[in-house]
Amino acid sequence: MRSSPASPQPSQPGNAWDTRPPAGGWGARFADGTVTSPTRRAAPDRAARHGETPMQESLVQVHTVAAVVFVVFHAVSAVTLLRVRRQRDPVTVRKMLRVSRVATVPADLALLTVLVAGTWAGIITGAFTGGRLWLWAAVAVLVVVLVAMLTLVSPNVEKWRRLVDEKADPPPPDELATALSARAPLAGGAVGLVGLVAIVWLMVTQPF
Ligand code: HEM
């Protein structure tokens, strides 16, 4: 296909996305001294364009994919938290909490991967020591969220589990209703939601 006169010319250096061979074919020398290799495409990959090494790029990709996996599986626990509060049947409560517990296994593994890959990337890019305050802000928000989960949410969910344990006597209906309607886990979930939005915003915009 012929290119229109207005379109960028293949031989222009700096036209990074043009995958057509430069004038003179692959192996041609640009005016600035750059030599294209016959085996290399003209378009540099994302890592090169952003000044990242392939290792840094891989770590950021693993970090991002693991974050998505965490959110998907932890959403199961989040939805359970919201829905179980209206239940009064111990068997239904037990089944719902079992689903939430199963979901915590992949969620926790994904969160661990997020932390390991993110910390590793932060160390090799020097981001922790390079004055990137957004990164430290994200770490601080994460600590607040984890404290909220481990003090407001998990202890209450464990209490519900003990109440509906199939090896124990069925709980008095009032006791179960009172435990399920506690406000603390909801407050913890709200902290988690706000924290999650804040962390994603900090990661995407890197504002300071
Ligand atoms: C950045 C956001 C969040 C992080 C890092 C986080 C992290 C955690 C961690 C580490 C645990 C304890 C370990 C475990 O049991 O798996 C946990 C438990 C839990 N979280 Fe979150 N969480 C977040 C957001 C939320 C939100 C928004 C909600 C609900 C609206 C929520 C609901 C729960 C529930 C219900 C549990 C108990 C799960 C169970 O034992 O079955 N979390 N969270």
Same domain assignment for residues 134 and 31: no
Question: Which numbered atom of ligand 1 lies nearest the CA of 195?
Answer: 1
Task: Give 35's DSSP letter.
Answer: B
Question: Is residue 24 within 8 Å of 7, Cβ to Cβ?
Answer: no
Residues 82-112 have pLDDT tens digits of 999 999 999 999 999 999 999 999 999 999 9
Q: Give tens-digit pLDDT for 187-196.
A: 999 999 999 9
Domain tally, the chain: 2
The alpha carbon of 137 and the centre of ligand 1 are apart by a number of angstroms equal to 20
In contact, 40 and 52? CB cutoff 8 Å: no
Q: Specify whether 61 is located in the same domain as 16.
A: no
pTM exceeds cut of 0.85? no
Q: Which domain range does residue 15 map to?
A: 8-44
Stretches where the chain sits below pLDDT 50 are 1-20, 22, 24-28, 30, 36-43
Using the atom order of ligand 1, give the atom closest to the CA of residue 97.
Answer: 41
Examine residue 3 and state whether it is found in any structural domain, yes or no. no
| One-letter amino acid for residue 109 of the chain | L
Instruction: For residues 102 and 144, state if they share a domain.
Output: yes
* Backbone phi, psi, residue 114, to 5°: -55, -45
Same domain, 39 and 57: no
- The H-or-E segment that residue 62 falls in is helix 54-84
Question: From the CA of 169, how far away is ligand 1's center (Å)?
Answer: 28
The verdict on residue 200 lying in a domain is yes
Sign of CA dihedral 66, 67, 69, 73: positive
Domain assignment present for 37: yes
CA of 78 to the centre of ligand 1 (A): 7
Rg (CA), the chain: 26
- Residue 29 forms beta bridges with which residues? 35
Asked if the structure places residue 139 within a domain, the reply is: yes
